[in-house]
């Protein structure tokens, strides 16, 4: 498979770095995009764009334009950017819901809007969004987070229909708890045996971005099996 230009949002985080590394190892050219100013492993990707709020459609358009100018027309967009808050409604309310919606749903929507026309130019473009298995049924304190991730699921389904026949597939993976240092610190007594390793999630994303997945679009794929790295 010829080298492609891949955009990974949230590219400076644990999952973003794992996904970026997997695409790079496969021979692709990766641009990592993040709200944070610098990546902890600066130089690991072909291009790092930090300190950007891609929930803003104008900023997302600028980012996509910069990637095209420096690396070439993108073929793959992976939307990992987002955040998590556990908070009962009484403790936060609309402010938290708005924050979650902006971080999880608007980042994905703005980047999809900016990148889709360029992805279509290749005739084999790919969008992979990160949803959440927890969004199937919200539990206490999870309303804002799961509500915003449910919006990502519906974005995935609707955009897949909008881009049918235009050479772009749109899918989402729905992981359960990801094995990260932050999650281990937040849940020190948890059984981590079923937690998902970032590298296992990256494998599924690479499949969805590959020619082998050309017939798959509009899928919401649960990732629920803990695996070794």
Task: Give the model confidence (pLDDT) of 38-93 as tens digits.
Answer: 999 999 999 999 999 999 999 999 999 999 999 999 999 999 999 999 999 999 99
Give the range of the structural domain holding residue 105, as residue numbers without chain letter: 5-223
Q: How confident is the model at residue 172 (pLDDT cuts 50, 70, 90)?
A: very high
Closest alpha carbon to 101 in 143, 137, 61: 143
pLDDT at 137: 96
Asked if residue 165 is part of any domain, the answer here is: yes
- Is 200 within the bounds of a domain? yes
Confidence at residue 167, expressed as pLDDT on a 0 to 100 scale: 96
Domain membership of residue 212 (yes or no) is yes
In a domain, 75, yes or no: yes
For the annotated catalytic residues, the residue numbers are 145, 149
pTM of the model: 0.96
Residue 61 lies in a domain: yes
Q: Which CATH number covers residue 83?
A: 3.40.50.720
Q: In the chain, count of helices (H) and strands (E)?
A: 7, 7
The reply to whether 67 falls in a domain is yes
Is residue 26 situated within a structural domain? yes
Query: Residues 115-155: pLDDT tens digits?
Result: 999 999 999 999 999 999 999 999 999 999 999 999 999 99
Q: Is residue 229 part of a domain?
A: no
Q: What is the CA radius of gyration of the chain?
A: 17
Residues of the chain with pLDDT > 70, as a percent, come to 98
Task: Indicate whether 1 pLDDT > 70.
Answer: no
- Residue of 136, 226, 137 lying closest to 190 (CA atoms): 226
pLDDT of residue 226: 78
Number of domains the chain is built from = 1
Distances (CA, A) of 118 to 17, 35, 113, 143, 208: 24, 23, 10, 34, 18
């Amino acid at each position: 498979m010829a080298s492609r230009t891949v955009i990974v949002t949230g590219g400076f985080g644990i999952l973003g770095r794992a996904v970026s590394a997997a695409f790079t190892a496969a021979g692709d050219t990766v641009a990592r995009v993040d709200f944070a100013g610098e990546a902890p492993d600066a130089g690991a990707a072909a291009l790092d764009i930090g300190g950007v709020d891609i929930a803003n459609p104008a900023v997302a358009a600028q980012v996509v334009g910069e990637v095209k100018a420096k690396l070439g027309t993108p073929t793959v967009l992976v939307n990992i950017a987002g955040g998590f808050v556990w908070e009962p409604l009484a403790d936060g309310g609309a402010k938290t819901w708005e924050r979650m919606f902006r971080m999880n749903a608007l980042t994905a929507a703005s980047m999809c809007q900016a990148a889709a026309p360029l992805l279509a130019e290749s005739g084999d473009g790919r969008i992979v969004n990160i949803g959440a298995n927890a969004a199937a049924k919200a539990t206490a304190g999870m309303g804002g987070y799961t509500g915003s991730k449910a919006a990502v699921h519906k974005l995935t389904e609707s955009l897949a229909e909008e881009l049918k026949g235009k050479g772009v597939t749109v899918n989402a993976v729905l992981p359960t708890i990801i094995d990260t240092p932050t999650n281990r610190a937040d849940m020190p007594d948890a059984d981590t045996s079923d937690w998902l390793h970032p590298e296992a999630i990256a494998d599924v994303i690479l499949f969805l971005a590959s020619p082998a997945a050309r017939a798959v679009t509009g899928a919401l794929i649960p990732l629920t099996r803990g695996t070794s790295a």
